[in-house]
Amino acid sequence: MDKIRIGEVEAVPVIDTALLMNPHLFLPRVADQMIAEYPDLLDDRQLMNMSVTTYLLRSAGKNVLIDTGLGGRRRSGYPVGHLDQSLRDLGLAPADIDLVVHTHLHIDHVGWNTVDDESGNRRIFFPSATFLVQKREWDFWMRPEHLRAPGNAHLVECVAPLENSGRLRVVDGEVAIDDNLTFVSAPGHTPGHAAIGVYSAGERAVVVGDASHHPAQLDHPDWSPPFDTDPIESAKTRDRLFNAAADDGRAWLAGHWQYPGMGRIVRLDGRRVFQAF
């Protein structure tokens, strides 16, 4: 399915890149159990089918992009993203994006914030957009020790340039983004991680960010990957989000679940089950 409607909001999955992840790296504590329990969710090499998917929400007359993927720079250990082409395929130019809303500031969620031109000069890729970031998330990652840390070049290249751009809006907590969208507290993966709630004309959805990376976590919410800052808190968060979605039938949009990552969570025979649209 290439798009869904939640009341007056249209949600479109916009892929940056597909991913294949080794369970022994992604869930090292339980990799063997994961392989045994979920062979249908692995490819023939026993790799996890995942993706880096952003979501375009057409809401209140604006184009709202949730996260910006890995970006077009070559980085060791990561594929190069093609969100730019995915947007072109939708008939959209970078200038058509009005808001960029970040669930958090990891490398695979901020990559297209900036690009480098042929002269090596860095510029913001979405020239008309305002960028929304949670204050706790911003303050955590903008600490000098994090900016200097090996492996955090994306913070310098893709996040720090927002500070003096005139287009950064730092918000605190579960605040409204527009008449239909709101931040939903979802800590654990990172200190200021947030999901995005959609509430329109009596219908609901949630864009979960990295509160969940894989549908195996429906059975095992305690399967927290090593990248979770607080694995205990992240387990509580994903369990809460799973139950809320199963309770009221809200649409579930998960950018690291296999593309397009859209469906509903239902309870069948005592288990939470994902039913893709």
| 277 residues of the chain, pLDDT tens digit each | 689 999 999 999 999 999 999 999 999 999 999 999 999 999 999 999 999 999 999 999 999 999 999 999 989 889 999 999 999 999 999 999 999 999 999 999 999 999 998 888 899 999 999 999 999 999 999 999 999 998 899 999 999 999 999 999 999 999 999 999 999 999 999 999 999 999 999 999 999 999 999 999 999 999 999 999 999 999 999 999 999 999 999 999 999 999 999 999 999 999 999 999 9
Q: Which of 8, 7, 9, 11 is nearest to 263 (CA)?
A: 11
**pLDDT per residue over 174-226, tens digit each?**
999 999 999 999 999 999 999 999 999 999 999 999 999 999 999 999 999 99
- The CB density around residue 116, as the number of other CB atoms within 10 Å, is 12
Q: Which of 106, 167, 27 is nearest to 37 (CA)?
A: 27
pTM (two decimals): 0.97
Number of domains in the chain: 1
Pairing of strands 4-6, 9-21: antiparallel
Instruction: Please give the residue range of the domain that contains residue 78.
Output: 4-276
How large is the C-alpha radius of gyration of the chain? 18
Check which CATH number belongs to the domain holding 26 and give it: 3.60.15.10
pLDDT at 1: 61
Q: Any residues with CB less than 8 A from the CB of 25 and at least 6 apart, and which?
A: none
